[in-house]
Amino acid sequence: MSRVAKLVPVALLIAATGLLGVGSANAQPLPPPCGYTLSPPQVVNAGGVNKVTATVSFYACGAPFRPAMSVACVHLAGPGSRGQCTQARGPGAAQVFFEPYQPGATYTASGRGCGKVFEDALEPNCQMLGPINATL
């Protein structure tokens, strides 16, 4: 009798925590640990020269994650096109400047934002951003 009395609470606990698979039937993928935004490509004048820029900015991390790095890239759309990328560490924004600017061309911005828990993490958890196309 005492064995049955001990097994009933254990079975109820296992069922309540979903270890029997009942709670996992509608599981959704987890969101990225940190949130980043990518700006669309735009033309700016820097030092008297028109350039195309895009920025990846950090906005939040869920505990225990913290921002690791961000990468922003801009390239001229089309086969064999060349591009430019830049990165920033921690919560800093990564802003890339691509030149020469060609009026009427289509530019593509892309990037990624990464979060980590440990300082020496080999592979941080990254969120891919873009691509965003703009004819400028």
Higher pLDDT, 2 or 119: 119
Residue 2 lies in a domain: no
Structure confidence at residue 6 as a pLDDT band (50, 70, 90): very low
Q: What local confidence, expressed as pLDDT, does residue 67 receive?
A: 94
Residue in the block written with tokens 């109820």 = 12
The whole-angstrom separation of Cα 88 and Cα 72 is: 9
Q: What local confidence, expressed as pLDDT, does residue 39 receive?
A: 98
Neighbours of 65 (CB within 10 A): 17
Task: Encode pLDDT of 20-62 as tens digits.
Answer: 444 445 665 566 789 999 999 999 998 899 999 999 999 999 9
Residue 3 lies in a domain: no
Q: What local confidence, expressed as pLDDT, does residue 101 receive?
A: 93
Report the number of distinct structural domains present in the chain. Answer: 1
104: domain CATH number?
Answer: 2.60.40.10
Residue 26 lies in a domain: no
Average pLDDT, the chain: 82
Residue 12 lies in a domain: no
Residue 49 lies in a domain: yes
Is the pLDDT at 70 greater than 80? The verdict is: yes
Is the pLDDT at 119 greater than 70? The verdict is: yes
Q: What are phi and psi of 7, to 5 degrees?
A: -75, -30
What does the DSSP 8-state code read for residue 117?
S
Residue 98 lies in a domain: yes
Residue 42 lies in a domain: yes
DSSP H helical segments within the chain, as ranges? Answer: 2-16
* Residue 96: domain span: 31-135
Residue 18 lies in a domain: no
Tell me the percentage of the chain whose pLDDT exceeds 70.
Answer: 75
The whole-angstrom separation of Cα 113 and Cα 39 is: 13
